[in-house]
Structure 1
Amino acid sequence: MKRTILSRCILLREMAETDPKLSQRKDDDGRYPIHWAASSNNLDIVVLLANQASFDPDIQVSRPSSHTSPSVTCNKGNLWLTFMANQDASGWTALMISASVPDSEPVLRVLLQKGADINEKTRLLLDTKPPASTRVRDRRGQYPIHRAAAVGSAPMINLLLKNRSPLNPTDNEGYTPLHHAVAEGHADAAVVLLKEGADFTIKNSDDVLALDLAPDSEVRRYIMQGAEREGIDLSSS
């Protein structure tokens, strides 16, 4: 399985170069090449696909709701990056996938048209392309910022917020990005969200506050102390 998926990642560049129309075809799981490129955190291929004439930055995984498939991985160096290719991924955009992959800020910036932060050639190539939207939901009601919070990436959270991402959206389970950050034990990401004004009084569908989802007392204490340093009083939560 790993060899098969790795081969797909390697061949993606060749496919796009030889036949641009291939970049607009989806596979049997409803994924387009840009979804694979984002999941493998491959900046070169993302730029290549972004410069196709018919590129749509907000194209979504369109797998039928009855379909399920196992997780798949793409190798980048010595790191296996996992894109959860399951039913819940339906509706994901490349931006949402990228926000779910740690250390993928360069790809995120390309999708958000931050070419000036990469290099001049990339900036010029992307100037006429529409940026990816930070306000597209997947079938679970999640925005890219939910995914960035779930993986604990403070840089990606900040980048998304600078690009008009909502701060306190709730998904289908009533989780805000703050709920996801705290539940996964990402205290630094939680503090970043609080510093930006995240509403810590919102309860999820189970009537639980974000802070009460902390996996242990150490994470909760760290968040409380970080919030206090920012002048935020969480004692009543």
Structure 2
Amino acid sequence: MSSSQQNEKYAIHAAAREGKSTVVESLLNADPKLSQRKDDDGRLPIHWAASSNQQAIVLLLSQQKTFDPDVEDDSGWTPLMIAASVKDADAVVDILLQRGADVNQKNQNGQTALHFVASKNNLEVARKLFANKPPASSRVRDKRGQYPLHRAAAVGSTPMVKLLLENRSPLNATDVAGYTALHHAVAEGHGDTAIALLKAGAETDKRDSDGYLALDLAPDKELTEAKQVRKYIEREAENEGIEL
């Protein structure tokens, strides 16, 4: 297939990605089945529209008779998973939820939209997922053994950690490396998040696969004395009456 034929075959994918809603509408009017065509990346136009935060095109595609809100690309990603990973894509998420997107569907790595929301610290979308009927579950473990809480702790999102715990997330579960959420928070130097986990009851005596306690992972050697993570956590824990 020549490059011009290739471009013509996947014109709707490019238009969806680039936000050309009139082109998408014209192509669909000519051939509605184009919305179901996968490109060489294994994606439908809806996946590209979601990844580029093209609200108008997502709405247009979602109104097609054959629209499936849970359609997967070749990696098992749904439009909702993609939108949940994009900054300021709340409106796209709303459209997909209104069309019945499954908030707990897993991709090939066992991850749900909530895993990506937690990684991106997208608090508002997380709230939308929990408010959905049925709600998102914070108790889904991916193939690395991680819950969304592990991801939120690793990026140091204390508000996300608190929201996940309010929605029944396991607190002391370990991933395949033996890391708890506390291990992740400390290892990445997020003292405030570590304190939030401790206040919630995080266990300090759990060792990872290499035998390390969470506090053993504090990256103090790379920081100035004033910012040493372990000293900060120990001081704040003492102030809170938490025994380490």
1:220 maps to 230
Q: Which has the higher contact order (CA 8 A, sep 6+)?
A: 1
**Matched residue of 1:197: which SS?**
coil
Q: Which runs of 5+ in 1 are unaligned?
A: 63-89, 114-125
1:233 Cα shift?
2.4
2:111 maps to 92
State which of 88, 99, 105 in structure 1 corresponds to 2:123: 105
User: Taking structure 2 as the reference length, what is the TM-score of the superposition?
Assistant: 0.73
1:122 maps to none
2:90 maps to 43
2:239 maps to 229
Larger Rg: 2
Residue deviations 1:142-162 (CA, integer Å, cap 9, x gap): 001001100101100110111
1:4 Cα shift?
10
Q: Which runs of 4+ in 1 moved over 3 A?
A: 3-7, 10-13
Measured in 1, the distance between the counterparts of 2:237 and 2:179 equals 20
Number of corresponding residues: 189
Measured in 2, the distance between the counterparts of 1:94 and 1:33 equals 10
State which of 53, 56, 63 in structure 1 corresponds to 2:102: 56
Alignment of 1:209 onto 2:213: yes
Q: Which runs of 5+ in 2 are unaligned?
A: 1-13, 19-47, 222-227
Identify if the C-alpha distance between structure 1 residues 212 and 23 changes in structure 2 by more than 3 Å, giving closer, same or farther. same
Measured in 1, the distance between the counterparts of 2:119 and 2:184 equals 12
Considering fraction of residues, name the structure with more strand.
1
Amino acid at match of 2:171: L
State which of 144, 148, 161 in structure 2 corresponds to 1:144: 148
1:231 Cα shift?
0.3
1:174 Cα shift?
0.8
Measured in 2, the distance between the counterparts of 1:10 and 1:195 equals 37
Amino acid at match of 1:96: H
Measured in 1, the distance between the counterparts of 2:154 and 2:164 equals 14
Measured in 1, the distance between the counterparts of 2:156 and 2:149 equals 10
1:178 maps to 182
User: Taking structure 1 as the reference length, what is the TM-score of the superposition?
Assistant: 0.75
Residue deviations 1:91-124 (CA, integer Å, cap 9, x gap): 111001100013x1101100111xxxxxxxxxxx
Please provide the CA RMSD for this pair. 2.0
1:22 Cα shift?
4.2
Amino acid at match of 2:90: L
1:18 maps to 61
Measured in 2, the distance between the counterparts of 1:198 and 1:227 equals 12
Q: Conserved in 1, the CA contact under 8 Å of 2:53 and 2:92?
A: no
